[in-house]
Chains A and B, each alone.
Chain A
Amino acid sequence: MSFAFYIVSVLAVGGALAAVLLKNTVHCALALTVALAGLALLFLNLDAQFAGFAQILVYIGAVAILIVFAILLTRGSEVPKDGVYSPNWAIGIVIAAAVFSVLGWAVLQSAWILPHDAVVPAVTVHDIGVALVGRYVLPLEIVALLLTAATIGAVIVAMHEKDGAQ
């Protein structure tokens, strides 16, 4: 648990807390972006370069922008009149604590199994690439199918508008 880990984890946890506690929805989205950046930094801390940069590229570059667009195109950018906290906040905390304990138990169980000073294999991008088209080729192809379906859907939606105007 190095010094850098503490700083990054403060950033990630602080961003996540701000994302739920702030009043302005766009501020919440930006705080979520900070939390995602913290996650990316955690990946980089663990020397998983590809995962870290892919996290920044995909989450911050695309997902955060998508969330912000969604907030802007709906009425979410207005500050709600009667507070942001739901009346059932106690139940929310209970559920969150339950999820956290389950996840923490799973992590700690697996942490006991790994020896403390194991040599972490350096995973290069090359290894990830080889694994993707070798062992994990089926998930890759399914994701490709999904992407194709999404693209065809986008094209159909755009074309449909053009026909409708005629």
Chain B
Amino acid sequence: MSASNLDQIFILIKNWLVAFLPQFWQPIAGAILGAVAIIAVYPTLFALAVLMERKGLGRMQNRYGPNRVGPFGILQPVADGIKALIKEDVVPFRADAAVHFLAPILLVVVVFMSLAVLPMGRNLVLVDMDSGLLFFFAMGAAVELSVFMAGWSSRNKYSLLGAMRAVAQMISYEVVLLLSSVAVVMISGSLSLVKIVEAQNHYIGILPNWYVFTPWGLAGFVMFVIASTAETNRSPFDLPEGESEIVAGYFTEYSGFKFALFFLGEYVEMFGVAGLGTTLFLGGWTAPLSVLAVVPSWIWFFAKVELWICFFIWMRGTLPRLRQDQLMSFAWKFALPFTLLNLMVTALWRFMGEGWERWVVCSAILIGAYVLMGRVGMHKGQIGPRRYRYAE
């Protein structure tokens, strides 16, 4: 099997399967097959990611992760799944049953829909939309709604508090996420994710043309990583679901399979936002060096997504949780101005034309702004007598 056949193997399989049906049903069958493939692959990746997280966190904390269930604990996600399925589904008596039921469903539906626009390989995108990026962010907005529904329907003060905090955090960092993506859209000239990857598919010599290797791309990438960690409520931004603060926040009252659905939704959202970041900044399914293009494109895409997930897990094992006011002030006082500046630097990059000057100027502006804002921010955080602000 040649390299390009292996690259397109899923498309070839789909075409072969769909050819059995009459002409009228073929497009619908193709779409359904693609959707089924996504729904089959991502929960498997979720199981692997959960296992990787527990074992990775364990190793970072000088201990083994789970290692009793299978060889090296491989069957632990199976055990977790069985446990989640057979647990009693407790719905509080005064909880709003309909909304309580719909919240995890909405979450899972929306995050799976958002996976439809990610180009996972050459020609391997379920729906090639003209404004695919906007679709992805629209689905992210619906996630906030589902979080709020979960928190409010539990009729629990802590859940409501957790939901409010989660929604506030997600809205703030969504702005940062959007603005850092707009820089990429400016340079590549299209909202379609397929075209964005195509724009990064060139090689200068053997080095790739990924946006992360440009000054504005690197700044945008760092902001995107931070914002995506906050969007998916991962450590260090996991105050809304902090176990030691508000007892799992907005999904306190969920048990059994609904909790597993929330967990699944959160991890698949992590995959989705990692996939988006890969597409925007790390070149999607393109290989790092042009000589490595023989390896199939979907392997590169999933490898890069797995690297993101590993980085998320690494951050979770390292950083302490941020307090609500700390993360909000970080979003509005540092991340947003820096991202706006990044937008302007991107525009400068675009209009300065090719050459080494634009590298120097853009890098200088960004590094200078980072150091300046860092100094201003750090001065505010001097250890001294604390001043409290009370509600009037």
Q: Assess A/B contact in the complex (Cβ within 8 A).
A: yes
Docked CA distance A161–B325 (Å): 14
Partner of B131, one of A24, A125, A162, A164: A125
CA distance in complex: A162, B388 (Å):
9
Our pick among A49, A56, A68 for the contact of B148 (Cβ within 8 Å) is A68
Q: Is B238 an interface residue (CB 8 A)?
A: no
- Please classify the interface of chain A as helix (H, G, I), strand (E, B), loop, or mixed, using the class held by over half of its residues: helix
Q: B327 interface residue, CB < 8 Å from A?
A: no
Give min CB distance, B170 to chain A, whole Å. Answer: 9
Counting CB contacts under 8 A, is A165 at the interface? Answer: yes
0 or 1 for each of B123-147: is its CB under 8 Å from A? (1 = yes): 0000001110011011111101100
A64 in contact (CB, < 8 A):
yes
B68 at the interface (CB under 8 A from A): no
Inter-subunit contact A165/B134 (CB<8 Å): no
Contact B387 A49 (CB under 8 A): no
Interface size on A, residues (CB 8 A): 27
In the assembled complex, B191 has its CB within 8 A of some CB on chain A: yes
Per-position binary interface string of chain B over residues 355-392, scored 1 when its CB falls under 8 Å from any chain A CB and 0 otherwise:
00000000000000000000000000000000111101
Measured between alpha carbons, how far is A61 from B146 in the docked complex, in Å?
10
B309 in the interface (beta carbon within 8 A): no
Chain A nearest CB from B172 CB (Å) reads: 12
- Knowing A26-B152, A61-B142, A62-B171 touch, does A53 contact B390 (C-beta < 8 A)? no
Q: Which residues of B contact A72 (CB under 8 A)?
A: 152, 160, 164
B131 touches A61 (CB 8 A): no
Supplied contacts A53-B131, A56-B139, 14 more A-B pairs, CB within 8 Å? A24-B96, A53-B134, A53-B138, A56-B141, A61-B141, A65-B167, A68-B148, A68-B152, A69-B164, A69-B167, A72-B160, A125-B190, A165-B390, A166-B387
User: What are 15 sample pairs from A and B whose C-beta atoms fall under 8 A apart?
Assistant: A26-B96, A33-B145, A49-B134, A49-B135, A50-B134, A53-B135, A57-B137, A60-B145, A61-B174, A65-B145, A65-B171, A68-B148, A68-B152, A125-B130, A165-B388
Closest 4 CB pairs of A and B: A61-B141, A56-B138, A53-B134, A165-B389
